[in-house]
Structure 1
Amino acid sequence: MDIEWILAYLMLGAVVGFMAGLLGIGGGGIMVPILTALFAAQGVAQEHLVHMALGTSMASIVVTAYSSLRAHHRHQAVLWPVVWKITPSILIGTLLATWVAALLPTTVLGIFFSCFMAYVALQMILNIKPKPSRQLPGTVGISLAGLSIGGISAMVAIGGGSLTVAFLTWCNVRIQQAIGTSAAVGMPIALAGSIGYMINGWGASNTPDYSVGYVYFPAVILISVVSFFTAPVGASLAHKLPVGTLKKVFAGLLILLSLKMLQTIFMG
């Protein structure tokens, strides 16, 4: 790999880790559009661009998810009974979604990703939050929620944080515990998504060297190493900077990156 690509992946890891720590969001919204552009510049086949970006992004989230899980567990903010109930359906939903994603053309995946990120950005700008209106459902209800969270997360390569927190707060779970439980749920989503994209991309032609299915491991390693160190920096600044304003700026960035991704797909 040329030095310019190494530097690009290191810089991406630094930004992703910092923003994850500062705003408590996963890196998929940033990583997928940028990885799509980087892979296109590196000559990855057009039909695999978004698949490679999604799979590589999912695998890169694993380290951050594990670090976040440990931190919230130390603060006793994880509702482990909820985690054990929702994880099986999360795994099923995530693995099924990677299989569906592998069947879809790059353009369809890109449009779905961009539309979902526009929805997330709008939520941030308007500060839309579900009002607590009920208690946690039983096993069936939690399982259905897990299928949905896992499925959408795999299709857009996010750790599921925004979806899980919204679901739990809607069920009257305190925000601190909702965030901590969401962090714990992010780990199986990232692992299942990574495995799913590796399995469903197995045998795909014209993928970069050192890839396993739709996961490009040189990028995963470089992004993960740096994000592991920059995430705590972002977290330490979360209480010192105007996070509300930063979220609106980040929402605008998400929209611009999604538009750039569509440009890369349709115009090269």
Structure 2
Amino acid sequence: MLTYSSLVLISISIGVLVGAVGVGGFFMPTALTLVAGVTIHQGTATSLFTFIFTGIVGAIYFHKKGSINWSLVGPICIGAVLTGFAGAWVGSKLSTTMLSGVLAVMIMSAGIYTLAAGDRATALAVGSSRKQWLILAGIGAITGFLSGLTGIGGPALSVPLMMLCGYSILSAIGAGQVLQIVGALSGTIANLKFGTIDFGLAWFITIFEICGVLLGAYIIHKVDIRLIKKFVGVLCVVAGFAFMFRTL
């Protein structure tokens, strides 16, 4: 009974973070391992499967609010589709310890930059349409591979990367909701063959994750965007430390 109660609270909390700031899915694989007693590979695969549905709900909500810049979504999703399967395949074969360390540094760097840069944009966020397409496709490719490998939701990676490249926070979160579907679906296809998905556990936590996503998406459209940006920066730093801890 305690386990189920813990999973409900964890799922809602992670859903709120995913819906509000896009960053939070990295907690789920570890939470499933510690609370539900599944293996790390089961936790990774199960977590990734649930993000298909949280992404759909989040994308619909953000679209209705006009918060998705679809010109950014296309190249990011193409990049993720091309690498998500490969990431999940590699994840089924290798330890993710070293990768988690690299991921920790990358996310912490994005968080520190976000807090330090304020409203300034980097040169990467401006330029020719071809340049922008390549940058966004690169973000999608990195995100898709790492998402499939580690089982964390796409926005947990794409949001800090897009912010690091100078894109606005709301554009990054909106695009991340759609990317979450593509990356999770691509990785799940691989996990059906190479990984282990606990479908009973997945459906249980998905219900509460979706509730959290709707609450988080509501919150993000009601509060000051500058406050959200600072919160994302802090959360990225915390997430980086969490990943670092995961490698120990």
TM bracket, shorter-chain basis: 0.7 to 0.9
Give the distance between the partners of 2:161 and 2:241, measured in 1 at CA.
Answer: 27
Structure 1 residue 188, shift from structure 2 partner: 0.9
Question: Relative to 1, partners in 2 of residues 1:137 and 1:54: Cα closer, same or farther, differing over 3 Å?
Answer: farther
Could you tell me how far 1:30 is from its partner in structure 2? 1.2
Q: CA RMSD in A?
A: 3.3
Q: Contact 2:107/2:237 (CA < 8 Å) preserved in 1?
A: no
Q: 1: distance between equivalents of 2:235 and 2:19?
A: 13
Unmatched tracts of structure 1, length 5 or more: 202-213, 264-268
Alignment size in residue pairs: 238
1:100 aligned residue = 90
**CA displacement 1:65-103 (0-9 Å, x = unmatched):** 111111122233434455445434421200011111111
Identify which of 34, 37, 50 aligns with 1:37: 34
Deviating more after overlay: 224-233 vs 243-252: 243-252
TM-score normalized by the length of structure 2 = 0.77
Structure-2 separation of matches of 1:166 and 1:67: 21
Which of 126, 133, 136 does residue 129 from structure 2 map onto?
A: 136
1:13 corresponds to 2:7: no
Structure 2 residue matching 1:192: 3-state secondary structure: helix
Q: Which moved more, 1:96-105 or 1:164-173?
A: 164-173
- Superposed CA deviations along residues 99-142 of structure 1, whole A, max 9, x for unmatched, are 1111103xxx1342243134313422442666124233279835
The 1:166/1:76 distance shift into structure 2, 3 A limit, reads same
CA contact (8 A) 1:59 1:191 kept: yes
Q: CA deviation at 1:198?
A: 2.0
Match of 2:185 in 1: 191
1:229 counterpart (205, 208, 211): 211
Counterpart AA for 1:232: L
Q: Which has the larger radius of gyration?
A: 1
Percent identity, please.
18
Select the residue among 16, 22, 40 that pairs with 1:50. 40
Partner of 1:218: 200
Q: CA deviation at 1:226?
A: 0.9
Q: Is the 8 A contact 1:33 1:257 kept in 2?
A: no
1:1-268 mapped onto 2 (5 Å cutoff)? 3-22=1-20, 24-38=21-35, 42=37, 44=38, 49-80=39-70, 82-105=72-95, 109-127=96-114, 131=122, 132-137=125-130, 141=134, 143-161=137-155, 163-165=157-159, 175-201=169-195, 214-238=196-220, 239-240=222-223, 242-243=227-228, 246-247=231-232, 250-251=235-236, 253-255=238-240, 257-258=242-243, 260-263=245-248
Q: Which moved more, 1:61-70 or 1:5-14?
A: 5-14
**Alignment gaps of 5+ in structure 2:** none
Looking at structure 2, the residues matched to 116 and 96 of structure 1 have their Cα atoms a distance apart, in angstroms, of 17
How far residue 154 of structure 1 moved from its aligned partner, in angstroms, is 1.6
Preserved contact between residue 61 and residue 214 of structure 2 (Cα < 8 Å)? no
